Amino acid sequence: MRTSTARAVQLVLLILLALLVLTPLLWLVSTSLKGPAEDIFSSPPALLPAQPSLDAYVRLFQDNPLSIYLFNSTVVSGLAVLANLLFCSLAAYPLARLRFAGRGLVLGLVVATILIPFQVVMIPLYLLMVQLGLRNTLLALVIPQAATAFGLYLLRQSFLGVPKELEEAARIDGCSRLEEWWNVMIPAAKADLITLAMLVFIGTWSDFLWPLVILDDPSLYTLPLGLQQLSSSFSLDWRIVAAGSVVSILPVLFLFVLLQRFILPNASGDAVKG
């Protein structure tokens, strides 16, 4: 009886917490669906639209180059994810499995960079992009995200958990170090790789400060900059702003729903291909 009561209380608390977290999102969606003649600042506030309409979404795409912003954000986020998975996994493998002088020092220095705020390195990074001739290019948005200290540390810890027997078996089969990395480590760390991909995608997709600093050309704006243009126009319509925010959330939500089933404890038995 006590167990059933405790579970019921726990379920009620979880439902209340979920409602508390989802209320701002529901309010955002509701605002974007309210008709042009509907007062969005009514008192008391109405959570559900009285006259549901897609007018805000239609005007969002008709009157603004949102498709360009979406394309730029997709390209930048996709390249950042691919670069992170490649470079972080390549760097994490020797730090996890090879023995060499100064390995601990190198790892400590890399991890220590996590403590450095981006605002500290923003100006030197900006000057570097200018000297490389990459200012006002999408590549300038990708390079700072191409490898992260957190990603390297995450994959290094993941590689440490791979049984040495798998490496030895691959070595007996004649695999090189690079083949061991590809055929043993990468499959074994699939869950952590997907986790890293999601974190990098979300961070790059929602990044506002660095694109604001490095880009001047509106045709290269990413989605956060494009949404900022909506909210700073002379005639501000909060329905369109809300619709743009909903559109920016949907890809991240879709990615999470698509990949969450892959985020499972590592199965070392699946580590060797073939």
CA angle 124, 130, 133 (to 5 degrees): 145
Longest dimension (CA), the chain: 74
- Which is nearest to 187 in space by CA: 148, 159, 225, 153? 159
Rounded distance, CA 155 to CA 134, Å?
Answer: 30
Is the pLDDT at 271 greater than 50? The verdict is no
Rounded distance, CA 31 to CA 205, Å?
Answer: 23
Rounded distance, CA 182 to CA 179, Å?
Answer: 5
Residues 112-167: tens digit of each pLDDT? 999 999 999 999 999 999 999 999 999 999 999 999 999 999 999 999 999 988 88
Average pLDDT value for residue range 201-208: 94
Residues 217-268: tens digit of each pLDDT? 999 999 999 988 877 555 678 888 899 999 999 999 898 888 877 765 544 4
The pTM (predicted TM-score) of the whole model is 0.87
Rounded distance, CA 35 to CA 73, Å?
Answer: 29
